[in-house]
Amino acid sequence: MKLLVTGAAGFIGHALCDSLCRRGDEVVGIDNLNSYYDVALKQARLARLAPFANFRFQHLDLADAAALQQLFVEEGFTGVLNMAAQAGVRYSLENPAAYVSSNLVGFANLLECCRHHPLEHLVYASSSSVYGANREMPYSTRHNVDHPLSLYAATKKSNELMAHSYSHLYQLPTTGLRFFTVYGPWGRPDMSPILFADAITRGEPIKVFNHGRHRRDFTYIDDIVAGVLACLDRPPAADAQWTGFDSDPSRSSAPWRIYNIGRGEPVGLLHYIELMEQALGQTTEHQMLPAQPGDVEETFADIEPLALATGYTPQVSLQQGLGKFAQWYRDYYKPA
């Protein structure tokens, strides 16, 4: 396949590019290399991809509609993996305009390109954040997701709805993937693994929000990549059994699907910190703090639909994953 991967310098995007290149696909990666977090980390990820003869990178922003259209004209993609987005729940409270530009305008530009340059499949990143105020566990794609708790979550649900309209109107096969707390080597520095590892190795207090009552469905990056590739290779078809009376919002008479990708095993935040300290061989003080605006107390993925459709089975336990993360963290950051 000839694939476009957006957000190729990002955590998940770069891991996908690596796996796609290793299996022999031709990959064009784009990224706007914004300064939301350390650009040097993004460049280091791209440097790992440079040796692949079947990978090319282009510095491009999805919000630049003309440049994106020209790329599609020149390349003739057979598939697209959209991992580009302005990430972060808490940052969306500070800079909402960045989320509108990247997650809404940028995604609309991408859909228009896919419409005018037909391809086999568009796979795009959604988020477990769309479940918002839902309290029923595990989170199921059959649940209503009309109560997001942050603008970030609202933009991700919007992406799902926008994709459905293009699937319906133009028969564009699209699959949205709700990722659950992805972690591992080369992760984002604004996420808990690096924040906690920094505090632990410096002997500083860890900020534990919601007084440690959070529970998260932590999912190792390799399992995420395996799930994405399994979906990529199975473009959805219109579901002839679905009608307007059907209550399942994850399926459609259009070639459109929504899946959760998680481990299916929520873990308490304090246990997660304990395993992180074990992996790093150090402990530190825990500073208990109230919950932050936009946070949800628990995430727990129902992954059965994805398993039935693709055979997806997560392989890496949290203890194993944090061990691999800790080894990378020490190699890359070289803490004292």
Number of H helices, E strands in the chain: 12, 13
Neighbours of 190 (CB within 10 A): 14
Helix ranges, the chain (H): 11-22, 39-49, 65-75, 91-94, 96-99, 106-116, 151-170, 192-202, 221-232, 269-280, 304-310, 318-333
Residue tagged active-site, from 37, 152, 183, 272: 152
Cα-trace Rg, the chain: 19
152 noted as active-site residue: yes
Neighbours of 155 (CB within 10 A): 25
Neighbours of 85 (CB within 10 A): 26
Give the residue from 18, 322, 42 showing the smallest Cα distance to 183.
322
| Contacts with 305 (C-beta within 8 Å, 6 or more apart), sequence order | 141, 250, 259, 260
Q: For residue 264, what are its two tokens?
A: 């299916």
CA distances in angstroms from 335 to 272, 274, 280, 329, 330, listed in the order given: 21, 19, 11, 8, 6
Distance between CA atoms of residues 293 and 96, nearest Å: 14
Catalytic residues: 152
